[in-house]
Structure 1
């Protein structure tokens, strides 16, 4: 056996083996044809970063032969999928980048095709970002099969990778500029000959000279029609092969038809030629699409930036040494050093040091947050002041930034109901344009002017292209989502932008919502034989596994010798458990049979074998902007209310401090839900703020649910809107942005529909030249996109 090992799986390479794969321009030896085939598939798929940042060798692939692999097989490998596939129970999730999407019709076509495949859970395509959020059952269908289905209808899909996408965007932009430049140059040349012919400079010359200039015009127009206009042709062919008509079908027919008929006329020496029209409206269409793509990229740039937050390297503390390693090589429990000015490489807990962290890239809050021993830090945030030693608690897809990216991807693909209507209207509109163009041609050819029938038809085909109509909604939503992300707001439900302006009532939970939820023990009053230390240790043992804000108060008092068994969470009341054979419960007066206090403090009680042995007074701090948020809500005409499970006078005090319209204390989760339902029965649209396990049912029942970013996972999973920072007033800003988004969508639709209603009769009556039609169509799309970009202005 050879001492050298396989580059893919690290198994020994047999003597005489000659399986080679070129990786990063270096030939690497493989142990078998399977590993060679898989490594080559990985390189062909553009996944060279896999070998650069992998933490473990790949699995040996001796059972695979090259014939079993197709061009997408590398994406099925578990070691490759760990970089971009997120698994939630039995469902796999991935963000795909899709080349070839030009309009909303393309997005609809991909969704429609994939939904027919068994094993697809959800597929949502965003035509603005040219990305798709895919969820599938890996036991029923492979990722490679899904990518093959997308390829079968003419699109190229691959898992989204920010660096690869940037490089691809640059290549595509360069190619697009080449097409545009060629079209512009040819247009200038062809127009010189066309203007000369139009002004009669050559009317006294023989037809041979006229034909000569036509042949020269054809030579200059050919690259435009055959190369520059290719994106329109390919898009149209994809649609027609799938038995659909998109907006590029009429454009392609116009360009191709005009060029072919002009070539025939030039060859025969009779008839009209339209080479200048072909060149000019191809140039203007490409110019409009170029600016449109740039605007789309600006709208979706925040999403790409999030992928770049996590640094590629980390400073690993290894014994007494510190060495730089790839961030992807970090493991749970590793300790890293974060120097001032450095990005945090992984989620973790501070084990040594005191500093402040800039978390604005995640939460939208610009002020640095103080961090000390025991505090959490997140990958992608910036250490500002002093060095910190951090123990890694989450890596890869489990990090906070990865969760935000997943939520944002889902938000970008959640579309308002009106967008589905517009998509359907766009498809019908394209069919209607084709029909009206055919009618126009017949009318002009047989009844009005046969010589003008062709160019009038071209004008109808180009001028009425529904690009602006298809762009009206997705560009506005993408821009709004981008603005939300900058502010630290994540949407998880389609229709949020429609719901926010319709709200009439806002219900706030108290702890962790109007207050910070950072409770402190103000006093411990013992009522039995136990000491204060024993009471706190027992309480800590009972609360150890709970995620409720109250439970966090007792975590510093955990004693290893005091442990609780048979833990039972009584929703809305507290916790029961057994400690050293005794039955304990900690919670409110209902669970512990205690006396209700009438003052404004917050209490919980500890009972042993049915007898109360301690009364614990808690203190919480009101959020700095809670009162202003309630006042602004009232100013917007919203009814405000507190619904809390706390039965102490603290609820009444908070209600007075923030000036809500009404407050309800001591509510169980079911009673909170009933309160929401009562408002709904009265015709109110209800938003519910929640934080904690108790709020999950009522969050699900409200018209719109909102969770604070510091809330528990179950609360966030139940919420439609998540505020990642600690600012309640982001809710007010969200309403403002939602109203502006709704307004801009309506403006876009009115403009797109109004433009087509006006231009269609003008084009059919012969009052618009083809190149003017191209300018009008491009300008219409640009106006819609530019109007949507107003949403990117900083709202704060």
Structure 2
């Protein structure tokens, strides 16, 4: 057998290799073929550089560490991940378990993929063993609510104790810091009693309500990646330890209020963010799950329902009209029409008969089929889900902006604290006074505002987007660079309506009436728009018959044929040259010509097809004016793709693509800059997951929605610019909030170094900065397209 090398990535091609009459060379996949075409239009040096990058990437993928042949892999959902440091920690934690070869955690998708030895490990035992230190690991189909209940409990109990503790501060301690007396005069022992009670409340708030923050800090230390949790912990714990020391020495000048305020306000901010984000579930729950769990198995002349996972090679299954095909296989009995748009993106239904292959997830729209499973039990829709999860799991988590700031701010604060201690000793202060000044720097270094800056701004972005039915599935999109170089659209169902329309009614009104009457009895997708043309008629149809390529019946004494022009001609009906030109022209545009014939003559040619959304041209034009490149990726034929290209004039067109080709195209386009992918079907899932920004749009499948960063579960294409605007405005608001927070630091840290901070001043300054952040985050966002 002759072997070939891919002309793009130089890996071995399948047999036979992928080829194209317009391009010289052989390719390992259609994705490489499309990218090779793209590179031909570029300057030689740039094209060669991108080609070498492709070779390096593809070879590195093949040369990854080989796993034993007996390995299996499983995916779990993870509750409690909130930054990229969690990825490293969970991978280390799981890697210590005997029987696990390796694992990959992804904060972006909140998933962990485990490669394990099935002989040494039962995967059902992994979730409880990996659920440690507040991380909740669950099966993919399990509804995990324990983490949410625990979080509510922490806030309710901690909030009650915090209110009581701060009330004691207001009544007895704050007035004493000003005048030496509270509203009610207290003896030293009575004041110590109240401070002791505040100590108990603060201890509970810090170690119970603040447990997720403390855990995050410990995780960041264990993986040597300082984050915002560590910065908050340093301030809260420093204030707590200082206050405990003051309490033991009999002083009532304590910072327990700072500890409670930091922990409670940051915890409430984080909870508010999660609560707003959880609103997306109300919309996502409306999406229909397309994965099939059961099949109708034929045995001994009878059929019974069995679970898809129990099917074996050689089994025969029965699929009826209107049902989804549950497993890949070969038709051994029956003829039908299959809608493959879900899996291939091809908008036109495909006739199938004995000997043809069918894919799981596609819809049988007409008649019934008996399908035999091949030598291997294969589900294309499950393979798509696996491909999507593989891409998501390997996507690296991005650190939040505040966490990136904390990575250098934490060491800076620690150095300032040490420097303050040395400075005061150098100037003759006692060790105790120098230590207090040093601790004051640590206490005021992290205001509540810095902890609130990101979650409140993001929660505001989520809330504003949800009011427009735009669902952001992950906060990371608000903190990554929002500018995209290329926007790639799936055609069918995104730029087009995804539904059949009667585009040309023909010149013969009587022919249209007859065709509409006949099509009312057909289940083919093309029948519906024709049947709607004349839904009310008192005429009767007799002797109705259906075929894979057409239908026929008797109306008003005439034998009427409606179907493919070739089928009509085979039945000895004459078709004129003018009519045949119309057939060819409609197919060049990617549409379906339908012939209507009687009395030995084709009386009319109707044209049915998908059509562009009314706002598609405006949206594409607006994106190009912003300096973005626009790509259209479609599973439709090259002729259909070129028809769309003439109307929308995209920068790139990729036609006749398969799901794996789409993800390869996105991966190559990313070499030109950030790529946003917009699609609706399961066939788009790998590309949505591969893109820097995936937007699932329109009449979605659950797999597409699961793969994307943003979900727009309606057919309003104009909301796509609104989604980009929400990202831009939210990112701007995060930066504004961080600016207010740092203004607090600029004021308070020098005062702390100078030893001029007291508990009352710290509380007032912290409250002021927090209120500024809250008010800035609460402002409404205008997401309308200006």
Aligned mate of 2:272, from 292, 295, 298: 295
For 1:191, the equivalent position in structure 2 comes to 173
For 2:717, the equivalent position in structure 1 comes to 728
User: Are 2:666 and 2:687, in contact at CA under 8 Å, matched by a contact in 1?
Assistant: no
Aligned pairs for 1:327-476 within 5 A: 417=398, 419=399, 422-450=402-430, 452-465=433-446, 468-469=449-450, 472-473=453-454, 476=457
User: Are 2:695 and 2:710, in contact at CA under 8 Å, matched by a contact in 1?
Assistant: yes
3-state DSSP of counterpart to 1:728: coil
For 1:710, the equivalent position in structure 2 comes to 699
Aligned pairs for 1:620-631 within 5 A: 620-631=610-621
By relative contact order (CA 8 Å, sep 6+), the higher-ranking structure is: 2
Aligned mate of 1:262, from 222, 239, 246: 246
3-state DSSP of counterpart to 1:123: strand
Matched, 1:744 2:728: no
Matched, 1:178 2:160: yes
Matched, 1:280 2:257: yes
**C-alpha distance in 2, partners of 1:485/1:558?**
49
User: Are 1:622 and 1:654, in contact at CA under 8 Å, matched by a contact in 2?
Assistant: no
Matched, 1:633 2:627: no
**C-alpha distance in 2, partners of 1:493/1:189?**
43
**C-alpha distance in 2, partners of 1:228/1:740?**
34
Q: Shift in Å at residue 596 of structure 1? A: 5.0
User: Are 2:485 and 2:673, in contact at CA under 8 Å, matched by a contact in 1?
Assistant: yes
**C-alpha distance in 2, partners of 1:684/1:472?**
29
Aligned pairs for 1:233-248 within 5 A: 236=214, 239=217, 243=222, 246-248=230-232
Q: Shift in Å at residue 617 of structure 1? A: 3.4
Q: Shift in Å at residue 498 of structure 1? A: 7.0
User: Are 1:491 and 1:720, in contact at CA under 8 Å, matched by a contact in 2?
Assistant: yes
**C-alpha distance in 2, partners of 1:651/1:772?**
69
User: Are 2:505 and 2:606, in contact at CA under 8 Å, matched by a contact in 1?
Assistant: yes
- Alpha-carbon distance change, 121 to 106 in structure 1, aligned in 2, over 3 angstroms: closer
**C-alpha deviations, 1:157-196, integer Å up to 9, x for none?**
7788577666545533331222212312332454178448
User: Are 1:514 and 1:622, in contact at CA under 8 Å, matched by a contact in 2?
Assistant: yes
Matched, 1:597 2:580: no
Q: Shift in Å at residue 712 of structure 1? A: 7.0
- Two-structure CA RMSD over aligned residues (Å): 6.3
- Alpha-carbon distance change, 195 to 722 in structure 1, aligned in 2, over 3 angstroms: closer
**C-alpha deviations, 1:230-255, integer Å up to 9, x for none?**
34885548855975772354235433
User: Are 1:691 and 1:715, in contact at CA under 8 Å, matched by a contact in 2?
Assistant: yes
Aligned pairs for 1:151-230 within 5 A: 151=132, 153=133, 161=143, 168-191=150-173, 194-195=176-177, 198=180, 212=189, 215-216=192-193, 218-230=195-207
User: Are 1:236 and 1:252, in contact at CA under 8 Å, matched by a contact in 2?
Assistant: no
User: Are 2:105 and 2:111, in contact at CA under 8 Å, matched by a contact in 1?
Assistant: yes
User: Are 1:501 and 1:739, in contact at CA under 8 Å, matched by a contact in 2?
Assistant: yes
For 2:555, the equivalent position in structure 1 comes to none
**C-alpha distance in 2, partners of 1:636/1:217?**
62
Gaps of 5+ in 2: 1-70, 288-304, 308-320, 324-380, 508-513, 533-542, 551-566, 571-579, 596-601
Aligned mate of 2:498, from 510, 513, 517: 517
- Alpha-carbon distance change, 553 to 210 in structure 1, aligned in 2, over 3 angstroms: closer
**C-alpha deviations, 1:345-397, integer Å up to 9, x for none?**
xxx989xxxxxxxxxxxxxxxxxxxxxxxxxxxxxxxxxxxxxxxxxxxxxxx
| TM-score, normalised relative to structure 1 | 0.52
**C-alpha distance in 1, partners of 2:278/2:418?**
42
**C-alpha distance in 1, partners of 2:629/2:732?**
23
**C-alpha distance in 2, partners of 1:200/1:692?**
67
**C-alpha distance in 2, partners of 1:753/1:730?**
35
- Alpha-carbon distance change, 594 to 758 in structure 1, aligned in 2, over 3 angstroms: same
**C-alpha distance in 2, partners of 1:279/1:675?**
56
**C-alpha distance in 2, partners of 1:723/1:696?**
15
**C-alpha distance in 1, partners of 2:134/2:671?**
51
Q: Shift in Å at residue 685 of structure 1? A: 5.7
User: Are 2:487 and 2:675, in contact at CA under 8 Å, matched by a contact in 1?
Assistant: yes
Matched, 1:251 2:235: yes
User: Are 2:78 and 2:111, in contact at CA under 8 Å, matched by a contact in 1?
Assistant: yes
**C-alpha distance in 1, partners of 2:691/2:113?**
26
**C-alpha deviations, 1:733-758, integer Å up to 9, x for none?**
11211211232233344444454344
- Alpha-carbon distance change, 91 to 475 in structure 1, aligned in 2, over 3 angstroms: farther
3-state DSSP of counterpart to 2:105: strand
Bigger Cα displacement from structure 2, 159-168 vs 629-638: 159-168
Matched, 1:764 2:746: no
User: Are 2:440 and 2:752, in contact at CA under 8 Å, matched by a contact in 1?
Assistant: yes
Q: Shift in Å at residue 464 of structure 1? A: 0.7
- Alpha-carbon distance change, 461 to 472 in structure 1, aligned in 2, over 3 angstroms: same
Q: Shift in Å at residue 293 of structure 1? A: 4.7
User: Are 1:414 and 1:493, in contact at CA under 8 Å, matched by a contact in 2?
Assistant: no
